[in-house]
A and B are shown apart, each in its own frame.
Chain A
Amino acid sequence: GIQVEQSPPDLILQEGANSTLRCNFSDSVNNLQWFHQNPWGQLINLFYIPSGTKQNGRLSATTVATERYSLLYISSSQTTDSGVYFCAESQGGSEKLVFGKGTKLTVNP
């Protein structure tokens, strides 16, 4: 099945810093999504981005489908950005989303 690899596994930042999270895929990109899981466990969909670039406030994402990777950019990080960021891609273009193990982000004040 499709393999989803995220890096780095852990990231610690000072408030105000920028960061880039990466997601690599072993198969073609069809249904790429980024999620944020806050410290209370709630999962929020950030982007649906099978290709191209999208921006939402301080967050943006780029997917290069031909090279099978996606990047999530966080600018001017805030303590509320802390949590785990997951990327996910569907198994063989099906309805089955496969999740990476996540990047744990800690933003210190």
Chain B
Amino acid sequence: NAGVTQTPKFHILKIGQSMTLQCTQDMNHNYMYWYRQDPGMGLKLIYYSVGAGITDKGEVPNGYNVSRSTTEDFPLRLELAAPSQTSVYFCASSYGQTYGYTFGSGTRLTVV
């Protein structure tokens, strides 16, 4: 099992550009999550999904969009990138609410 796979690992984006961060899991987990981690801080939830076709906002959803068309994939879309979106983005998945999370290796995004 590959677990949770995130691509790309690094990316530099210009202000105003858009991009999609990819996240795929092969563990048949229903729950998937996107977090961002700023330097010296904990993780903050952007969006999450409890199953295909179902998504909901987390703590910091502004400037982002998600979709969940399959169980395996949960892409995160950044529209009109801003310097404040410079961060490390982590995707995670779990079987459900009472199960531990498995994290991807992260995407380090810089907006200049």
Residues of A within 8 A of B (CB): 4, 31, 33, 35, 41-45, 47-48, 50, 86, 88, 90, 93-102
Contact = CB atoms under 8 A, between A and B. Distances in A.
A31 B105 contact: no
B31 A95 contact: yes
A95 B92 CA distance: 12
B48 A96 contact: yes
Interface of B: 31, 33, 35, 40-45, 48, 50, 58-59, 88, 90, 92, 97-103, 105-106, 108
A31 to B, nearest CB: 6
A100 B106 CA distance: 19
B42 A101 contact: yes
8 contacts: A31-B97, A45-B100, A45-B102, A90-B97, A93-B97, A98-B45, A99-B35, A101-B42
Contact of A101 (B41, B48, B105): B41
A95 B50 contact: yes
A33 B43 contact: no
A4 to B, nearest CB: 8
